[in-house]
Amino acid sequence: MKHSLVLKMGQQLTMTPQLQQAIRLLQLSTLDLQQEIQEALDSNPMLERQEDGEDFDSGDPLAEGDASHGAGGLETSVSVERDPDSLDEGQWEERIPSELPVDTAWEDIYQTSASSLPSSEDDEWDFTARTSSGESLQSHLLWQLNLTPMSDNDRLIAMSIIDAINSDGYLEESLEDILASLDPELDIELDEVEMVLHRVQQFEPLGIGARDLSECLLLQLNQLPADTPWLEEARRVVREHLDLLGNRDYSQLMRRLRVKEDELRQIAELIQRLNPRPGAQIEASEAEYVVPDVIVRKDNERWLVELNPDAMPRLRVNPHYAGLVRRADSSADNTYMRNQLQEARWFIKSLLSRNETLMKVATQIVELQRGFLEYGEEAMKPLVLHDIAEAVGMHESTISRVTTQKYMHTPRGIYELKYFFSSHVSTAEGGECSSTAIRAIIKKLVAAENPKKPLSDSKIAGLLEEQGIQVARRTIAKYRESLGIAPSSERKRLV
């Protein structure tokens, strides 16, 4: 084989480290981004956080010509502030321009302003809810066990029973298995285990330690006052006819109990007030909070879109350390500081790019979904990623990244940005209706239906067709299930 040198020309798309960093920051959630920023602050001495009320007047004396020119061409944002004096005039205009490009057409309707969520000094601040941790069901039961006088053997049995209770409050293991798990030398009988179980079943919440649904409801009924109306009939239904009540076979129930319809309704209402999952009252997990990235509010008939300043920390290059970088010095220490300074500038540029992109996408979403903000889910318009990508001049993959795990705070609640995207269904007039709007209409129809004769999926499809919305019955069933609405046979109730 003959070796030779050949010159070839071609095009190749290469992702620079700056672009990779910008893309990675773009797809991070707010909590992940704050962790990433903290790691950058810990590892890079050139970066520092601007505190509230702090005025930075020091400049960055270093302006190297070989520094980074940005993060892959992404546009920057004004939400992460950077002092223009920290770079030389030419360097600032070249790397992070002071006047950022803004679509002036949006300024006619929207404006960007600062906002703040409730601080620790506000009345809305709930310190306990933000700092307290949840209590597990087992620890709650053990606390009651410690307050109950028992023998040592009974206490061991009770602890084994409590360990066998699941998160819903039901005893998962049989009494025989619990007995087998105890020390044989204690010489404990099955009757003792059952006796201790009855004592545990007196703990709070009511109905704990039951072996099935019927026993759980009976335990709760037994705690009601003896003069409670229809108490004995309710006990009989729970013991003998719980399956008929679950299937809503009211005619059969009335024959078995020999009661009238109004009397059966009162019996059913008494049973429905009971809790079939008593253990769920004790929440073991800590409360999880969603930090909104964007805040939308209405002011003087205009919808204002702004980044959440509490979720977007402001960073800058530390002027003191930057001033220690010497020109034309190739020592190890100076090279390290120069590299850290360049990485700090890249990181700030990536944050600016992320916030600028997030602001553009959120503003366009609000512009297209103003009907939802004004009138609710029924006014939601069909929207896909391509619509936003075309409006802001970006690729659909970028829009997908920026709308994942990013949340918008609106007067109607906090929603993930992806919530505003939905498929469409054609209408009789040739228009389009959002699937989110159809779900809202289904929810409204079910809420207003006659409990004695609930609407079937076919009937709902017919009602929607009368409004000009053509939806198949199977689609109605899919939307209904996604809303957590039971079939018509399970929604039937006594009036």
Backbone angles phi, psi at 413, to 5 degrees: 130, -175
pLDDT digits (tens, 9 = 90+) for 266-275: 998 899 899 9
Question: Has residue 15 got a pLDDT over 70?
Answer: no
Residue 220 pLDDT > 90? yes
Write down the pTM of the prediction: 0.60
d(CA 382, CA 10): 42
Overall average pLDDT of the 453-470 stretch: 85
- pLDDT tens for 375-406 read 888 888 888 888 899 988 888 888 888 888 88
Least confident of 62-71, 368-377, 398-407, 486-495: 62-71
| CB 407, CB 416: distance < 8 Å | yes
Least confident of 136-140, 240-244, 281-285, 464-468: 281-285
367 pLDDT above the threshold of 70: yes
In the chain, the amino acid numbered 152 is D
Instruction: Among 352-361, 423-432, 468-477, name the most confident range.
Output: 352-361
Cα separation, 112 vs 366, whole angstroms: 13
- Determine the angle formed by the axes of helices 231-240 and 261-272, rounding to 10 degrees: 80
Lowest mean pLDDT among 409-418, 427-436, 477-486: 427-436
- Helices and strands per DSSP (H, E), number in the chain: 23, 8
Residue-level pLDDT at 470: 82
pLDDT exceeds 60 at position 462:
yes
One-letter identity of residue 123: D
Q: Is 188:153 a contact under the CB 8 Å cutoff?
A: yes
Cis? peptide before 205, omega within 30° of 0? yes
Question: Which whole number is the average pLDDT over 147-174?
Answer: 90
pLDDT tens track for 74-114: 333 333 333 333 334 334 333 433 343 434 344 444 444 43
Task: Report whether pLDDT(210) > 50.
Answer: yes
DSSP sequence for 152-214: HHHHHHHHHHHHTB-TTSBB-S-HHHHHHHS-GGG---HHHHHHHHHHHTTSSSTTTTBSSHH
> What SS3 string covers 22-48?
HHHHHCCCHHHHHHHHHHHHHHCCCEE
DSSP states along 116-150? ----TTSTT--HHHHH-----HHHHHHHHHHTS--
Which pLDDT score, from 0 to 100, does residue 13 have?
60
Residue 252 above 70 pLDDT? Answer: yes
Residue 295 near residue 115 (C-beta atoms within 8 A)? yes
Write down the pLDDT at residue 409.
93
Provide, rounded to the nearest whole percent, the portion of the chain with pLDDT above 70: 79
Rounded CA gap, 280 and 384, in Å? 38
Check residue 99 and give its pLDDT. 40
Averaged pLDDT for residues 185-192: 86
The mean pLDDT of the chain is: 78
Give the residue-averaged pLDDT of 360-381: 89
pLDDT for 363: 92
* Res 360: pLDDT: 92
Sign of the C-alpha dihedral computed for residues 331, 334, 337 and 341 taken in this order: negative
Q: Are 365 and 388 in contact (CB under 8 A)?
A: yes
Q: How far apart are CA 330 and CA 260, in angstroms?
A: 96
Mean pLDDT of 420-437: 75
64 pLDDT more than 60: no
- Report pLDDT for 261: 86
**Full set of structural domains in the chain with CATH:** 17-116+299-350 (no CATH), 137-281 (no CATH), 422-495 (1.10.10.60)
433, 427 contact by CB (below 8 A): yes
